[in-house]
A and B are shown apart, each in its own frame.
Chain A
Amino acid sequence: MSYFSDIINGTKTLLTGMRVTGGYFFVNFFTKRDVITQQYPNNIETLEMFDRFKGEVIMLHNENNEHRCDACTLCEKACPNGSIEILGDKAKDPETGKNKRFLVKHIYHLQMCTMCGLCIEACPVNAIDWGQDFHHVEYDRSLLTKVLNKPGSKIMSGIKG
């Protein structure tokens, strides 16, 4: 007897569940009210990330192509997995006449970065920050190694070296 009552109860509860799914099906078929799916590759133009989104590490440049990095290598030391390499050099400062460190290349290995944010926290002059770009797909791993300072850029005046 319980065999038949099980079948009846099972069908009844199944229909209760199907009322939920059916409700969504019909409501969303006509109104698209609860649809949260994003049509990702098609909405690339309009997609906006949150302002704190951790896409990649970028170096901030002003309109005169000047950055704030003085090659102190604190970010390189803070990085847990060696994603940052800094190539710096020393040159004579024309104003003070002392030897001053300057940045040649800020190399960033995006393929090794875990987005932990320790480099950005460690930076004393806020030279690097998060970028919102997340389209990091490349055919070759080496293309993910980036030089963050733009070619021809130099240090902003007023930053201690």
Chain B
Amino acid sequence: MKEFLTDQLKTQEYFLNMGPQHPATHGVLRLLLKLDGEIVRNVDMDLGYIHRSIEKMCERASYKQIIHLTDRLDYLSAHMNNEAVCLLAEKALNIEVNDRIKIVRTIMDELTRISSHVLWWGVTGMDIGAITTFMYGFRERELINDIFEETCGTRLTMNYNVIGGLRYDIHENFVKRTKDVLKHLKKKLPEYDKLLTNNIIFQKRLMNVGVISGEDAIAYGLNGPTARGSGVSCDIRKTHPYSAYDMVDFEEAIFTEGDSFARYKVRIKEMWESISIIEQLIDKIPNDEYKVKTKAVIKLPVGDYLQRVEASRGDFGVYVKSNGQKFPERLKFRSPGFANLTALNKMAYGLKIADLVAILSTIDVVVPDIDR
């Protein structure tokens, strides 16, 4: 019977466009799929739909102006991107920032990470077919966005870090609001497990889907939670501590299975770690200046500089080649999303289209980060 079927029902390989406006691609990402029936044979990524040439724009922007452009890369980890540029300039100019700045920056980083992961959790649930998670994810994110709005003035593109400190001092309600959010999250995250993580239907959709081994993960240059799901230790917060990460005690979330569910568990665990990091720091904010005085026009000394931070999707790097002028001679952003997307073909080979959607959402692509 089986032979009869394969003889009679011969399939032909064909091409299918996924995107650029497919709702599951999280933005304008076009995937050209080569399919055999429903089985994925090849994935071609067509990028550039929202390329804004931000790196080139940075070459005619002063160092203060570059910061607000980095908000627009990975908009869900805007604060970390800002911090990368600030840390780079501070390293080049030998500016020492005080503990207050470091601690506030770290708390903001972790709040951004939670807000990004909460959104990711909602969107992943929705991609798999559970629409409720999307609403629940946004409910928690709204509270974190309120903290950002109160202290930074905006909800998404914060632009809160400046070279030598912070743009404003923290708002007087900041500590109280943050503690409230942590209390709320600690109540709600177990609900996430009940609703989605422990659900067998959801687990079966993710387990053994999109498996990538640790060696392959390193070979493809994967980073962030995507690589940590394959057992690769690559947390910049641990390997190259910056800001206040050397003052806190936290565990790097690593799972070794390498499938989509491992990547899912890494992000859930990272939320718990972020909560613990904020709890360790929130009562320790010292009274001090929130900004170190810098020159009106910032010129980096001649040389090459590199700064890496752990954004919510992985290793975000800024490379600046300075010729001593007020504009950088060349600037390069190393974005986590781009490296993670390259492994998509390897992960999705031989799986179904529905699995491709699951892989895409557990890689957690943000297209402005990939296209720049």
Contact = CB atoms under 8 A, between A and B. Distances in A.
B150 A52 contact: yes
Interface in B138-177: 139, 142-143, 146, 149-154, 157, 159, 167-168, 171
Given A13-B201, A17-B196, A116 B65 contact: yes
Given A16-B194, A17-B195, A54 B68 contact: no
* Chain A: interface size category: 20 to 34
B198 A115 contact: no
A54 B65 CA distance: 17
Nearest to A12: B200
B282 interface: no
5 closest A-B pairs by CB: A116-B68, A80-B65, A54-B153, A52-B153, A10-B200
A121 interface: yes
A36 interface: yes
A53 B200 contact: no
Given A52-B150, A52-B151, A80-B65, A36 B139 contact: yes
A9 interface: yes
Nearest to B130: A17
A118 B194 CA distance: 46
Interface of B is mostly: helix
A52 B204 CA distance: 46
B198 A13 contact: yes
Interface of B: 61, 64-65, 67-69, 132, 139, 142-143, 146, 149-154, 157, 159, 167-168, 171, 191, 194-196, 198-201, 204
A13 B154 CA distance: 39
B157 A9 contact: no
Contacts of B139: 34, 36
A13 B159 contact: no
B336 to A, nearest CB: 23
A118 B296 CA distance: 11
Given A20-B195, A52-B171, A118 B68 contact: yes
A118 B64 contact: yes
B149 A50 contact: yes
B201 A10 contact: yes
